[in-house]
């Protein structure tokens, strides 16, 4: 509690010290109207959510001096989308977060849309020094006046830098650094240092494709290539790209991964993130892959991107746990929306090709407390188990997926269902009776489906429930379903059933709150 009060005080005091001149009303003139307790109905207890008000995409994910920075799309005045700022939080382990003052405010060039951050350790930009390298944020400006006037050139790219580890920021006086030549959707720059060409690479999206730029100093950029007009999914606008190298776990081969979020057009409706596996030579990204692969099949993992400079070569991913179909209507009051659990991305290959897995980072295990449950469960009859609440739990077991199998988690009247259907090789996830669903038509509608490959050995199913979300990881993150749920009473029953088999290595953990210890 003491820690919490301190955090709020620091937040308020520092929010009053912002150096930049806001073009619109901001935290400086709108103090926190509600004192957040992180105990409100539906408040995630171990996922990141802002103290109050509206949040969407993760931005500027960068690791610097033992600290993980998380910036995010933030509107500090309401719980619906509005003039975008970059909110800011930091963490030593990506599990426990400290709230920081707003990092970037809108200015005369527009709202601050999504983007990335780098540590310019060689001081190529000249914003700092080699001894004190600048953190540089690269983001999209969205000029509302331009959009309202019916123009197409209202999105441009800008940069800002910090010489005090992200505490305060200065906008570059030469903004915008990339202007707009009449492209309506032109945004979400991801920048990273490309070792092989000793240069900065920037990838952004332009409606139905990605554009790749190169720079020596983060300030002047030249367009090198384009990707995607004829590849992948095109059911909606491309957003929030990411490009990074990974080793195939089975062979050690190095490949490049391109993530591209798309809205609408996801396999199970609305917003989702496709990916491509290919090669990048410092100029162009190329791939033989014609069809999109998907980071996941649930409805609530969007605009996810990965950390720059993560330690030990890890590829660490965070997504926004919502969907534009209903993001602004979910039944929370003080704040709206949360991030997914941080996940490790790994690259794999089998006879059918390359694919990614994403799975919660190991540090998540530090907030788990073992609960008593049988370690093996024979499904010759239905297994039913009850406890006071399952709203903060992590359940794992091994299951033979060649056999029909169903999992329910719920209370007396509400439930979620996960089903394995070997006859059609489909995985089904159903939240139609999960609790409040009628705030928007598509939320509870239609079962979410995904085809799955047979496996001769049992695979792990892991289900992580946190107040208003369910994250399901099958086969260590090969198939993932992330979904929000809004039960009116705590889920407290677990029911497992299906064709006879014995589930092994069953483990249940309660998950501690990161906000209310």
Active site residues: 57
By the rule CB under 6 A, 57 interacts with ligand FRU: yes
By the rule CB under 6 A, 338 interacts with ligand FRU: no
Name which position in 52, 107, 188, 430 contacts ligand FRU (CB under 6 A): 188
Q: What contacts 458, CB < 8 A, 6 or more positions away?
A: 398, 399, 400, 401, 504
Q: Binding residues for ligand FRU, how many (CB under 6 A)?
A: 12
Name which position in 43, 187, 299, 348 contacts ligand FRU (CB under 6 A): 187
Distance, in Å, from the CA atom of 76 to the CA atom of 87, rounded to the nearest integer, reads 9
Spatial CA neighbour of 88 closest among 121, 62, 65, 111: 62
By the rule CB under 6 A, 73 interacts with ligand FRU: yes
By the rule CB under 6 A, 112 interacts with ligand FRU: no
For the bound state, the minimum distance from the C-beta of residue 398 to ligand FRU, rounded and expressed in Å, comes to: 36
Using the minimum distance from each CB to ligand FRU, give the nearer residue, 49 or 140.
140
For the bound state, the minimum distance from the C-beta of residue 57 to ligand FRU, rounded and expressed in Å, comes to: 5
User: For the residues of 36-91, what is the DSSP string, one character each?
Assistant: --S-STT--SSS---SSEEEEEEEEEEEETTEEEEEEEEETT-SS--S-EEEEEEE
Q: How many CA atoms are closer than 13 Å to the CA of 452, on its beta-carbon side?
A: 31
For the bound state, the minimum distance from the C-beta of residue 111 to ligand FRU, rounded and expressed in Å, comes to: 8
Q: Rule CB under 6 A: which of 140-159 touch ligand FRU? A: 140
Distance, in Å, from the CA atom of 88 to the CA atom of 104, rounded to the nearest integer, reads 9
Q: What string marks each residue from 80 to 99 as x (binds ligand FRU by CB under 6 A) or -? A: ----x---------------
Q: What string marks each residue from 113 to 142 as x (binds ligand FRU by CB under 6 A) or -? A: xx-------------------------x--
461 neighbors 407 (Cβ within 8 angstroms) = yes
Using the minimum distance from each CB to ligand FRU, give the nearer residue, 261 or 392.
261
For the bound state, the minimum distance from the C-beta of residue 304 to ligand FRU, rounded and expressed in Å, comes to: 10
Using the minimum distance from each CB to ligand FRU, give the nearer residue, 320 or 429.
320
By the rule CB under 6 A, 300 interacts with ligand FRU: no
User: For the residues of 281-348, what is the DSSP string, one character each?
Assistant: -SS-EE-S--S-EES-SSSS-EEEEE-BS-GGG--EEEEES--TTTGGGSS-SSEE--BPPPEEEEEE
Work out whether strand 353-360 and strand 343-350 pair parallel, antiparallel, or are unpaired: antiparallel
Q: Rule CB under 6 A: which of 226-245 touch ligand FRU? A: 239-240
Distance, in Å, from the CA atom of 306 to the CA atom of 59, rounded to the nearest integer, reads 9
Using the minimum distance from each CB to ligand FRU, give the nearer residue, 303 or 416.
303
- Please give the helix or strand (H or E) that residue 15 lies within, else none: helix 2-15
Which residues of the shown chain bind ligand FRU in the complex (CB under 6 A)?
56-57, 73, 84, 113-114, 140, 187-188, 239-240, 303
């Amino acid at each position: 509690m003491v820690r919490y009060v301190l955090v709020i005080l620091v937040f308020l005091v520092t929010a009053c010290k912002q150096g930049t001149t806001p073009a619109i009303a901001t935290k400086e003139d709108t103090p926190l109207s509600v004192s957040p307790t992180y105990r409100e109905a539906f408040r995630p207890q171990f996922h990141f959510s802002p103290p109050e008000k509206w949040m969407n995409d993760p931005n500027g994910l960068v690791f610097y001096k033992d600290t993980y920075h998380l910036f995010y799309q933030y509107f500090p005045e309401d719980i619906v989308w509005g003039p975008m700022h970059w909110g800011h939080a930091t963490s030593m382990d990506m599990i426990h977060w400290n709230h920081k003052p707003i990092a970037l405010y809108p200015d005369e060039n527009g709202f601050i849309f999504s983007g990335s951050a780098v540590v310019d350790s060689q001081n190529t930009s000249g914003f700092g020094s080699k001894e004190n390298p600048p953190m540089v944020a690269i983001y999209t400006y969205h000029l509302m006046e331009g959009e309202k006037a019916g123009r197409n050139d209202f999105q441009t790219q800008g940069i800002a830098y910090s010489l005090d580890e992200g505490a305060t920021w200065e906008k570059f006086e030469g903004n915008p650094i990339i202007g707009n030549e009449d492209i309506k959707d032109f945004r979400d720059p991801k920048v990273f240092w490309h070792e092989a060409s000793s240069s900065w690479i920037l990838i952004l999206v332009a409606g139905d494709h990605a554009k790749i730029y190169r720079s020596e100093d983060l300030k002047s950029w030249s367009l090198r290539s384009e990707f995607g007009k004829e590849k992948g999914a095109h059911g909606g606008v491309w957003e929030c790209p990411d490009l990074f190298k990974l080793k195939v776990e089975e062979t050690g081969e190095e490949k490049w991964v391109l993530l591209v979020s798309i809205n609408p057009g996801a396999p199970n409706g609305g917003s989702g993130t496709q990916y491509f596996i290919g090669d990048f030579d410092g100029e162009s990204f190329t791939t033989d892959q014609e069809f999109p692969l998907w980071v996941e099949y649930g409805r609530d993992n969007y605009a996810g991107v990965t950390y720059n400079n993560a330690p030990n070569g890890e590829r660490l991913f965070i997504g926004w746990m919502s969907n534009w179909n209903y993001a602004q209507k979910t039944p929370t009051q003080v704040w709206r929306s949360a991030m997914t659990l941080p996940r490790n991305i790994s690259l794999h290959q089998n006879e059918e090709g390359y694919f990614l897995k994403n799975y919660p980072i190991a540090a998540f295990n530090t907030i788990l407390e073992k609960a008593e449950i049988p370690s093996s469960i024979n499904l010759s009859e239905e297994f039913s188990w009850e406890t006071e609440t399952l709203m903060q739990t992590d359940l794992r077991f091994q299951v033979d997926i060649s056999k029909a199998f169903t999992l329910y988690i719920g209370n007396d009247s509400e439930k979620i269902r996960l089903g394995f259907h070997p006859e059609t090789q489909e995985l089904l996830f159903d939240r139609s009776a999960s609790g409040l669903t009628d705030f928007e038509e598509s939320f509870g509608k239609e079962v979410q489906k995904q085809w799955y490959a047979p496996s001769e050995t049992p695979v792990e199913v892991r289900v992580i429930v946190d107040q208003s979300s369910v994250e399901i990881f099958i086969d260590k993150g090969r198939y993932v379903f992330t979904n929000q749920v809004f039960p009116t009473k705590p889920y407290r029953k677990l029911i497992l059933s299906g064709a006879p088999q014995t589930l092994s290595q069953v483990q249940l953990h309660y998950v501690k709150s990161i906000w209310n210890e």
